[in-house]
């Protein structure tokens, strides 16, 4: 039986790399994201197996669109074995007291509410399918542990993802649903290009930071996804070896 994975934020970066790695590993993969053209670019990079790909434009912050996304996956593939809650966004790096409520809410809606809505929808499929169960992997980020300057909205939501992961892991036991979290630091994607020029540090300096190949993250997601349901990676940190995390600040 071909296993089915759904990746949110699959149009670029970590989501694209993970989706392609899962597809290469033999999964049928649903690519979800807001931009249809970006999803099509991801699909075009897959090495054959087009019948195992599904592209669905969806904003995970919108409950109706999440419902339609998971209905499309169920209709096309009949089940769902892995959900990678990867979609995320950030706010402008302004002083905490200057961050607008609208910017705060946008980050919360995508990063936290979106992951919750997708988790709910995955539960509804996974608990009722045969064989029962599945796995949910949440993208927590290094910011689930330690903040960068001027990142209050992003950091708060990523800390909250850890709570979502723990509650999902506990509540999923009754249905053979495992949940783990991958915390990623400085994977080389379009979002991290600025790190070569320097990023703000806790002491106010701008310092270039090392990055790692995003393939390392994709391989880690495939490993987590491929475990039997009686085993789980509860938390995994994958980071550029020399980035300032241990000792940050």
- Residues tagged active-site: 154
Residue 232 contacts residue 179 (beta carbons within 8 Å): yes
Angle at 46 between CA 130 and CA 118, to 5 degrees: 45
Q: Is 104 helix (H, G, I), strand (E, B) or coil?
A: helix
Residue 221 tokens read as 């997601």
Alpha carbons 19 and 47: distance in angstroms, whole number: 12
55-59 LR contacts (CB < 8 Å, sep 24+):
55/30, 55/31, 56/30, 56/31, 56/32, 57/32, 57/33, 58/8, 58/32, 58/33, 58/34, 59/34, 59/110, 59/114
- Please list, residue by residue across 152-164, b when 16 or more beta carbons sit within 10 angstroms of its beta carbon and e when fewer do: bbbbbbbbbbbeb
């Amino acid at each position: 039986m071909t296993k089915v994975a759904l990746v949110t934020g699959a149009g670029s970066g970590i989501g694209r790399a993970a989706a392609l790695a899962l597809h290469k590993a033999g999964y049928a993969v649903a690519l979800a994201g807001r931009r249809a053209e970006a999803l099509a670019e991801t699909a075009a990079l897959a090495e054959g197996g087009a019948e195992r790909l599904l592209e669905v434009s969806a904003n995970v912050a919108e409950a109706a669109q999440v419902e339609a996304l998971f209905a499309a996956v169920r209709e096309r593939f009949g089940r769902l074995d892995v959900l990678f809650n990867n979609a995320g966004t950030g706010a402008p790096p302004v002083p905490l007291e200057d961050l607008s409520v609208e910017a705060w809410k946008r980050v919360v809606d995508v990063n936290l509410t979106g992951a919750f809505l997708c988790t709910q929808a995955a539960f509804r499929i996974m608990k009722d399918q045969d064989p029962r169960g599945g796995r949910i992997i949440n993208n927590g980020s290094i910011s689930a542990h330690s903040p960068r300057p001027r990142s209050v909205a992003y950091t708060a939501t990523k800390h909250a993802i850890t709570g979502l992961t723990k509650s999902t892991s506990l509540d999923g036991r009754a249905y053979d649903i495992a949940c783990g979290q991958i915390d990623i630091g400085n994977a080389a994607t379009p979002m991290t290009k600025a790190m070569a020029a320097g990023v703000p540090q806790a002491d106010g300096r701008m310092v270039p930071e090392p990055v790692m190949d995003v393939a390392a993250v994709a391989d880690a997601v495939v490993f987590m996804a491929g475990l039997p349901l009686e085993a789980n990676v509860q938390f995994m940190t994958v980071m550029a070896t020399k980035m300032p995390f241990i000792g940050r600040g």
